[in-house]
Amino acid sequence: MPFVSQTSLQSDYTLFSSNCPIVIDNGGSNFRIGWAGETDPRIIFRNIVQRPRHKATGETVTIVGDHDPALMKYFDCTRSSPRSAFDSNVVYQFEIMEYILDYGFERMGADGSQVDHPVLITECVCNPVQSRSKMAELLFETYGVPSVAFGVDAAFSYKYNQQLGICDKDGLVVCPGFTTTHVIPFVDGEPVYKACCRTNIGGFHVSDYLKQLLSLKYPHHMSRITWEKVEDLKMEHCYIATDYASEARLFQKGGKEAEDKTRCWQLPWVPPPVEGLPSEEEIARKAAIKERQGQRLREMAEAKRSSRINELENELQGLEFLLQQLGNVEEKDIACFLAETGYVSKQEIESSRAKVMQSLRKAKGEPKGEQAETEEKVDPSAAEKYPLINISDNMLTPEQLKEKKKQLFLKTTSEGRQRAKQKRFEEELERERQNQQDEEKRLENPELYLEQLRAKHRELSEKVEQRKRHKTNGNHTNGNHNLSGGVGRGERLNAAQKERMRLLTTAAFDRGKGEDTFGARDEDWQLYKLMSKDNDEDEEGPDAYEAELARISSRLQDIDPNFVSKSELVPFQPVVEVPSFRPLSKEDFQIVFGVERFRCPEILFHPNLVGVDQVGVDEMAGVSIRRLPSRSQGLNERMTNSILLTGGSCLFPGIRERLEAGIRMIRPCGSPIRVVRASDPVLDAWRGAAVYAASLQFPGQTFSKTDYYEKGEDWLRRYTLRYTL
Amino acid sequence: MRNPPVEMEPEVIEAEMVLPTYLSFKKVQMHEKYPKGQARGRHWKHLKQIIQAENYQNYPPDEPNYVNIESPPSMNPCKKICDITGFEAPYSDPRTTLRYANTEVFKHIRLIPNESVQRYLALRNAQVVLK
Reported as a single tens digit per residue, the pLDDT across A202-259 is 999 999 999 999 999 888 888 888 888 898 889 889 999 899 888 888 888 888 888 8
- Cα–Cα distance list, B25 to A55, A121, A651 (Å): 29, 18, 38
> Strand A171-176 and strand B91-92: pairing?
unpaired
Q: How far is A166 from A398, CA to CA, in rounded Å? A: 128
The DSSP symbol for A138 reads: I
* Cβ–Cβ below 8 Å for B124 and A130: no
* Cβ–Cβ below 8 Å for B79 and A606: yes
Q: How far is A628 from A624, CA to CA, in rounded Å? A: 7
Nearest to A248 by CA among B79, B107, B94: B79
Contact A46, A4 (CB under 8 A): no
* Cβ–Cβ below 8 Å for A93 and B44: yes
Q: How far is A216 from B115, CA to CA, in rounded Å? A: 10
HSE at residue B90, side-chain half, CA atoms within 13 A, is 2
Read off the pLDDT of residues A485-531 as tens digits, 9 standing for 90 and up: 334 444 455 677 777 777 777 766 655 555 666 667 777 777 777 66
pLDDT of A572 above 80: no
Nearest to A609 by CA among A83, A323, A201: A201
Return all residues near A155 (Cβ < 8 A) that are at least 6 apart: A173, A184, A186, A191, A688, A721, A723
Q: How far is B20 from B4, CA to CA, in rounded Å? A: 5
Return all residues near A548 (Cβ < 8 A) that are at least 6 apart: A460
* Bridge partner list, A176: A181
HSE at residue A436, side-chain half, CA atoms within 13 A, is 6
Give residue A424's identity as a one-letter amino acid code.
R
Sheet holding A43-46, edge to edge: A43-46, A30-35, A22-26, A119-123, A147-152, A703-704
DSSP string, A20-79: SPEEEEE-SSEEEEEETT-SS-SEEEES-EE--EETTT--B--EES---TTGGGGEE-SS
Read off the pLDDT of residues A275-316 as tens digits, 9 standing for 90 and up: 666 677 888 888 999 999 999 999 999 999 899 989 988 988
DSSP string, B50-106: HHHHH-GGGS-TTS--TTTTBPPPPSSPPP-B-TTT-SB--EE-TTT--EESSHHHH
- Closest CA of chain B from A683, distance in Å: 24
| A316 membership: H or E segment, kind and range | helix A280-328
Smallest Cβ–Cβ distance between A248 and the set B33, B63, B87 belongs to B87
Give residue A445's identity as a one-letter amino acid code.
N
* Cβ–Cβ below 8 Å for A129 and B54: yes
Return all residues near B71 (Cβ < 8 A) that are at least 6 apart: A197, A198, A199, A614, A615, A620, A623
* Cβ–Cβ below 8 Å for B53 and A130: yes
3-state SS, residue A148: strand
Lowest mean pLDDT among A41-45, A234-238, A533-537: A533-537
Nearest to A628 by CA among A172, A59, A136, A150: A172
Nearest to A373 by CA among A384, A383, A385, A361: A361
Q: How far is A327 from A309, CA to CA, in rounded Å? A: 27
Smallest Cβ–Cβ distance between A126 and the set B66, B81, B101 belongs to B66
* Bridge partner list, A181: A176, A199
- Closest CA of chain B from A52, distance in Å: 10
- Cα–Cα distance list, A463 to A470, A495, A584 (Å): 11, 17, 33
- Output the pLDDT for position A472: 62
- Closest CA of chain B from A159, distance in Å: 21
Read off the pLDDT of residues A54-79 as tens digits, 9 standing for 90 and up: 888 878 888 888 877 777 788 887 77
* Cβ–Cβ below 8 Å for B112 and A245: no
Q: How far is A9 from A20, CA to CA, in rounded Å? A: 19
Read off the pLDDT of residues B52-95 as tens digits, 9 standing for 90 and up: 888 888 888 888 888 888 899 988 888 888 988 888 888 988 98
- Closest CA of chain A from B130, distance in Å: 18
Please report the domains of chain A, with CATH numbers, ordered by start residue.
Answer: 13-48+84-153+682-717 (3.30.420.40), 203-268+591-677 (3.90.640.10), 284-378 (no CATH)
